[in-house]
Amino acid sequence: MAKSTPKANNQKTVGRYVAPDARGRITAKRPVSDDHSPRWYGLTIVALLAAGMLIIILNYLAVLPDSVSSWYLVVGLAVMFAGFFLATRYK
């Protein structure tokens, strides 16, 4: 029986189970430093959440000027919303 000659390049280039590098579908890796938020970002989140909570508490304790006002509640919730919005983008 005759022997078959071995192929020079044994990798498949078409069909099923083709290596990703053979298809050219490899995404370049990004540097790890691009995936992290700066240090001040986390502190800003905590500060906004604490400031919003403090505004709401001081409003109900009648410490802020103009006694108890619904606008202080709106401002406190808006500040807390800003903190939650930043928290969703934290990496």
pLDDT in tens, 38-74: 889 999 999 999 999 999 999 999 998 888 889 999 9
What sign does the CA torsion over 16, 17, 21, 27 have? positive
Is residue 52 assigned to a domain? yes
pTM given for the model: 0.62
Judge whether residue 24 has pLDDT over 60.
Answer: yes
Token pair belonging to 3? 């022997």
Residue 82 domain boundaries? 38-88
Count of domains for the chain: 1
Is residue 9 assigned to a domain? no
* Radius of gyration, CA atoms only, the chain: 30
